[in-house]
Amino acid sequence: MPYVIGADLPDQPAGQRFRALLDRPQILEMPGAHLGIAALLAKRAGFPALYMSGAAMSATMGLPDLGMITVDDVCWYIRQVVRAAGLPVLVDGDTGYGEALNVMHMVRAFEEAGAGAVHLEDQLLPKKCGHLNDKKLADAHDMAAKVAAARKARRHLYIIARTDAAASEGMDGAVARAKLYLEAGADAIFPEALTSREMFAEFARRMPGVKLLANMTEFGRTPFLTAKEFEELGYAMVIWPVSHLRVANRAMEELYATIRETGGTMAALDRMQTRAQLYETIGYHEYEALDASLVKTVVPEGMPQG
Ligand SMILES: C[C@](O)(C(=O)O)[C@H](CC(=O)O)C(=O)O
Ligand SMILES: [Mg+2]
């Protein structure tokens, strides 16, 4: 239904709806969907929640994932995804765009934009994709202070602390940091860039009772595991953060090459969503029908209808 109908909007804050999904026994599967159109398609495929990747939002703006985008940039993305899908979304908050006060501002801004959850990472700027080399880690206590600041600012937003420490401080370092961030008030932990099934298993064993997130990004350090496998290893959430963008980018690349080579788009038609399918995806005709019904119903009684 068109999102503009107020009665159809959820009453419960997004953070509460996100938490409720984690109360179910199964792992929460969140594909990346950082644009309104992606949100509609992912919802249609049956996902109950979505992930909004900093890497994907940055790349969509033609920027590298080095922490250059702003809170307002991200809120623009959040608003369209929430509006389109009406699902709880987990948003990549990078390093919080600064220090503790910036983190608080981010939490307030993300909640107002409609987010259900955020993750905050322990890197220094310029932050990097967790699966690359040369990451600079923040002091663990500085990061804990940011987590505590996020807690202080939130009304309902679910707060996930991400640690990038596994590469430089090993499993012991990552576990110690995760414990500190939990003490500071994190609701869950995202151990970034673990490199084997055994590492995922060990991290989960050493964090009993803690909600954990697995990042199944491609072309990174984590071997391919399925949602079911992560669930069996003790993970509560899994994301496929950039997969949708990688596929869409390849498709665009091929289209532009086809136009250059053939002077038109006809050779690409069989790979296109048709106009009818696009309109169906965005509910075009439902909005039109709604508009037509409104024009009739707002005419005050007794007024001549033209
Ligand atoms: C999850 C992540 O933070 C993201 O921004 O999507 C990235 C994903 C990626 O670059 O593949 C990450 O740092 O893992
Ligand atoms: Mg990121």
Per-residue pLDDT, averaged over 122-146, amounts to 96
**pLDDT in the model for residue 21:** 98
**pLDDT in the model for residue 295:** 77
Q: Does any ligand 1 atom lie closer than 6 A to the CB of residue 92?
A: yes
**pLDDT in the model for residue 16:** 98
186 and 41, same domain (yes or no): yes
**pLDDT in the model for residue 19:** 98
**pLDDT in the model for residue 45:** 98
Q: Is residue 2 part of a domain?
A: no
What's the pLDDT band for 240 if we cut at 50, 70, 90?
very high
Give residues with Cβ within 8 angstroms of 208, minimum separation 6.
none
154 and 256, same domain (yes or no): no
Q: Is residue 117 part of a domain?
A: yes
268 and 148, same domain (yes or no): no
How many residues can be counted in the chain?
A: 306
**pLDDT in the model for residue 1:** 81
6 in Cβ contact with 74 (< 8 Å): no
Q: Between β-strands 158-163 and 211-215, what pairing exists: parallel, antiparallel or unpaired?
A: unpaired
* CA-220 nearest atom, ligand 1: 11
Q: How far apart are CA 269 and CA 277, in angstroms?
A: 13
Region label for 263, one of left (φ > 0), alpha (ψ between -120 and 50) or beta (otherwise): left
Query: Is the pLDDT assigned to residue 299 strictly greater than 70?
Result: no
Q: Is residue 265 part of a domain?
A: yes
Q: How far apart are CA 135 and CA 1, in angstroms?
A: 44
Is it true that the peptide bond before 223 is cis, omega within 30 degrees of 0? no
146 and 270, same domain (yes or no): no
| Domain enclosing residue 268, as ranges | 250-294
Give residue 69 CA to ligand 2 midpoint distance, Å.
11
Return the higher-pLDDT residue of 112 and 299: 112
Q: Does any ligand 1 atom lie closer than 6 A to the CB of residue 116?
A: no
286 and 155, same domain (yes or no): no
What's the pLDDT band for 304 if we cut at 50, 70, 90?
low
CA 54 to chain centre: 8
CATH number of the domain residue 85 falls in: 3.20.20.60
Percent of the chain with pLDDT over 70: 97
**pLDDT in the model for residue 260:** 98
Count of domains for the chain: 2
Taking each helix axis as running N to C, give the angle between helix 71-85 and helix 36-44, from 0 to 180 degrees, rounded to the nearest 10. 40
Q: Is 241 helix (H, G, I), strand (E, B) or coil?
A: coil
* CA-119 nearest atom, ligand 1: 3
Q: Which of the ligands is closest to the CA of residue 34?
A: 1
This prediction's pTM: 0.96
Q: How far apart are CA 16 and CA 49, in angstroms?
A: 12
User: Which residues participate in catalysis according to the annotation?
Assistant: 51, 65, 92, 94, 119, 121, 129, 162, 192, 215
186 in Cβ contact with 124 (< 8 Å): no
What's the pLDDT band for 305 if we cut at 50, 70, 90?
low
101 and 177, same domain (yes or no): yes
Q: Ligand 1, atom 13: nearest CA belongs to which residue?
A: 129
Query: Is the pLDDT assigned to residue 34 strictly greater than 80?
Result: yes
Q: Is residue 5 part of a domain?
A: no
